[in-house]
Structure formats: structure tokens, C-alpha cells
Amino acid sequence: MGNYLVTGAAGFIGARVSALLLEAGHRVVGVDELNDAYDPRLKEHRLEGLRAHDRFRFERADVARPGALAEAAQAHGGGGFDALVNLAARAGVRASVERPALYVAANVSGTLECLELCRTHGIPKLVLASTSSLYGSHNPRPFREDADVSRPLSPYAATKGGAEALAHTYHALHGLDVSVLRFFTVYGPAGRPDMSVFRFVQRIREGRPIRVYGDGSQSRDFTFVDDVARGAVAALRPLGHEVINLGGDEPHAVNELIALLEERLGRKAEIEREPRHPADVPATWADVSKAARLLGWKAEVGFAEGLGRCVDWYEAERAWAADVRTD
């Protein structure tokens, strides 16, 4: 039985990673600020499932506040963790343009606090969440992990690049085993409401207009949350220092996403067009050969199946999910 510390445990990916670890018989200490970056009801909904496990403990703390993570760890024995999975972050490309300081605090300072905890408490392994946004718009697709990531297009991507650099420094200086996972457009039930899948499901179902930036031809390598969580758990093995893509390896255009949801919901979308945002990249596509080689991982949930699960969850939770703010 392992003992794991998961930051961002009430978040979309963090809750699923925590659940998989618990289902495998491990102990999990989850830490989350429970901020209002989006509707906290979603975070409480995810936490409710985790709290059903007697091997789960939760601490409310802002990992970017100096010492807060160490205090949370101390409350549960002060150490003895097999790994720290850092999934606490401020996410969102467009929002980062408006409030970049929040992203520096959460994504850079927060990562530094995690790294310091590993160093001072002898935690041998860090799994760090990163992003496909680092690849920008200048790299050939599919994106390989050795591509140039020196030209990010948003503060969000830039702060994730900074977190990656800090993690490499702690590997080089202190021998910390680090797996950096670059996620590609994660979606699924109880997902982030600022992302297209949740937003489109809710708005099409409720007869509200959806906003599309550009002509809808832009594509994303959508990756189902269960697949991403499996990859994060697989990355807990000793690897030294590795950067690994986790993506569906099958890009889909926004127009295709809308068409599939219209079919599943039996309703037509009312579309409001906006100019393309300069922080958005035109397309993403992951080369996942490294994940296959090092983790034995590949995405298993197809796009249509994954969207169906999102719709089914929404219908089951519609009494409150219909009121969740999506912009």
C-alpha cells in the first residue's frame, strides 16, 4: 500500500487521479485551495466521491503560500509519502492573459513549494502536470517532447514552462525523480466549465447560444480524463527525469465537436462567432510514442464515447449543473 500526496485533489484531473489511487488500495492525502476560479460546486461534487473512501484525507490549503503544503503534510504524519502528484494549477489560456499574476503564483510558486517539500521531506518522486499549450503555433505536428517550447503564446503556457524548468533543476541538483506530463485538452464528466465540452453540452442542452472563436476549423487532441489519470498513475514509476505527452493522438475540429454533441443531445446549437483569440493555437496533436514506450500507455476512450459519457453525466446532474457559470 502506497502513501501519496495529491495537490489539486478537488480539481478535474486531480480528483480522478486520487480516485484511481484509492481504488488500487493506496492512501491519499488530498490538498486543494477550493478557490472560485470556477463554480466550487463542481469541486465539492468531486470531493464527495473521494470522501467516501476511509483512506482519503483532505486538507484545504493554497500550495503557493509558503509553508502551507508542509503544514498539510505535517497534519498527516509529516512525510513518508511515496510520491507527490502536483495537479494544483491555474489553468486556462484566455484567462491567463487577463490575470497573469495569479498564474505565476499558482503554477510557478506552487510548483516550487512542491519541489521544496520533496527535498526537505525526502519524497523521492514528483509527477508534475504540464500542458500542450507549451508547443505554441510554430512546431510541426504531431508534437514531440523534444520540440522547441521557448515561444509560448500565453502566460498560462509560460508559467508551465517555468514549472518544468524548476523541476529539471531539482532533478539535476537533488536527484529528484520527476515525470512531467504534458496534457492535451482533457475532457470528461464533471469537467472544467470554462472548457468547450462542458460549456457546449450545457448551453446546447439548455437552448443557450455557444460562443465559437474563429471559424471552428481549429482542432484539438481531446483526451478523456480517465485516460489521463491512468497515465499519471503509470508515471509514478521511477523514470529519472522525463517529459511525456498524454494525448488522444486523434485531433478533432471544434465544428466536429459541435456536430457530435448536437446528435447526442438531439438539439441544434445556436452559434455566436467571435474572432480567433491571439493566445489560442490553431491545432494540437500529441506524438504519444514516448508514453507507449515508457508507460505502456495509450488513450482508450474514443471521442464519441467520451462525449456520450459527458452528456450522460450532465443529464444526471442537470438540476444544479444547468446553473454552473461557463464564462
Q: Which residues are catalytic?
A: 156
Amino acid letter for position 198: F
Q: Write 159-163 long-range contacts (CB < 8 A, 24+).
A: 159/90, 159/96, 159/100, 159/103, 159/104, 159/106, 159/107, 159/108, 160/89, 160/107, 160/130, 160/131, 160/133, 160/134, 161/134, 162/104, 162/107, 162/108, 162/111, 163/107, 163/108, 163/111, 163/128, 163/130
Start-end of H helices in the chain: 12-23, 40-50, 68-74, 93-98, 100-103, 110-121, 155-174, 196-205, 225-234, 254-265, 289-295, 303-316, 318-321
Burial code (b: 16+ CB inside 10 Å, e: under 16) for 106-143 equals bbbbbbbbbbebbeebebebbbbbbbbbbbbeebebbb
Cβ within 8 Å of residue 146, ≥6 positions away: none
CA distance 224 to 302: 8
Determine the Cα–Cα distance for residues 301 and 231; give it in Å rounded to an integer. 13
Contact 124, 83 (CB under 8 A): yes
Classified as helix, coil or strand, 230 is helix
Longest dimension (CA), the chain: 56
Q: What are the backbone angles phi and psi of residue 59, rounded to the nearest 5°?
A: -130, 130
Asked if residue 21 lies in contact with residue 28, where contact means CB atoms within 8 angstroms, the answer is yes
Strand partners, 186: 223
